Amino acid sequence: MKPTITDNEAIKSDTERGPFAKKVFELRIRKNFTQQSVAGVSEAYIRRVENQNHQPSEAMIVRLAAAYGYDAPAQLEELKQLANQQAKGLAQAPIESVSGKNAIQRIPKAENRVKIDLSRFSTELPPFEVDYDSIKNFGHFLDEVYMMLGHHKLTQPYNYGTTWLLKDKSSAQVYLNLRILERFGPDYPVRDTRSLIEVGISPGMELEAIPLVGHTPLSYGPNTKMLRE
């Protein structure tokens, strides 16, 4: 069934989307995909990547290209060039009033981003950055990282702290989610609505994802927000 294009999507396609966002939006519609149809990519992330105020990682470009059947070498290079063009344009875009219906936001500066290194899982996984202000809570942040890991064989759903964790590269601190803090154990979905600042993650930080296979899982101790690896 052909996906429905909402009025809001149509407006954004003409006025707000950058060149990469326009292209992937067109590819999704051409493929008759909904925003829920891309395997391994959340609907929320598809919404973000189809809007001009998001700079996609190279790994995400490759994944979307494959999903939309637009992954021949020349096509992939085209998408990368469009993403670079979009990033340059956003860096120069003015900030309009957030109350405006079609306000365009400038791409965040580097210090307002959090960088995540995935190389401990695979050297083929490039690092990526997230816009600090776009992350709703720590649970959302973990979902973004898990998605970029591409459902790696060393990770499993609802097993953060058991099969993998995030560590601050400068201080070696690791971060515990509510599943661990509330002693539910692995394989149990628990919504973690704490903000990043509550967890201890600030703009400009660089984290790394660490596989825990072959290591002792983190202790499920109460009232502990951060432990050292």
Of the two residues 154 and 170, the one the predictor is more confident about is 170
Whether residue 173 sits in one domain with residue 80: no
Among candidates 138, 187, 129, 141, which has minimal Cα distance to 44? 141
Of the residues 107, 140, 158, the one at which a domain ends = 107
Q: What span, in angstroms and rounded, lies between the C-alpha atoms of 35 and 47?
A: 7
Query: pLDDT digits over 113-145, tens only?
Result: 899 998 888 887 888 888 888 888 898 899 888
Supply the CATH number for residue 98's domain: 1.10.260
- Structural domain count of the chain: 2
Mean pLDDT of 176-195: 80
Q: What span, in angstroms and rounded, lies between the C-alpha atoms of 31 and 2?
A: 9
Please provide the average confidence, as pLDDT, over all residues in the chain: 74
Whether residue 190 sits in one domain with residue 123: yes
The confidence score (pLDDT) of residue 98 equals 38
Residue 83's domain spans which residues? 1-107
Of the two residues 69 and 151, the one the predictor is more confident about is 69
Q: What span, in angstroms and rounded, lies between the C-alpha atoms of 214 and 66?
A: 33
Q: What span, in angstroms and rounded, lies between the C-alpha atoms of 1 and 42?
A: 20
Of the two residues 47 and 229, the one the predictor is more confident about is 47
Mean pLDDT of 194-203: 88
Whether residue 114 sits in one domain with residue 29: no
Mean pLDDT of 100-121: 64
The confidence score (pLDDT) of residue 75 equals 93
Q: How far is CA 21 from CA 15, 185, 216, in A?
A: 11, 39, 42
21-25, 73-77, 121-125, 196-200: segment of lowest average pLDDT: 121-125
Whether residue 152 sits in one domain with residue 57: no
Q: What percent of the chain has pLDDT over 70?
A: 69
Q: What span, in angstroms and rounded, lies between the C-alpha atoms of 176 and 4?
A: 40
Supply the CATH number for residue 176's domain: 3.10.20.90
Residue 115 bridge partners (DSSP): 129, 206
Mean pLDDT of 81-97: 65
71-80, 106-115, 130-139, 175-184: segment of lowest average pLDDT: 106-115
Q: What span, in angstroms and rounded, lies between the C-alpha atoms of 64 and 71?
A: 9
Q: What span, in angstroms and rounded, lies between the C-alpha atoms of 134 and 195?
A: 11
Whether residue 189 sits in one domain with residue 168: yes
Whether residue 83 sits in one domain with residue 46: yes
* Residue 223 pLDDT greater than 60, yes or no: no
Mean pLDDT of 73-90: 85
Whether residue 189 sits in one domain with residue 96: no
Whether residue 128 sits in one domain with residue 33: no
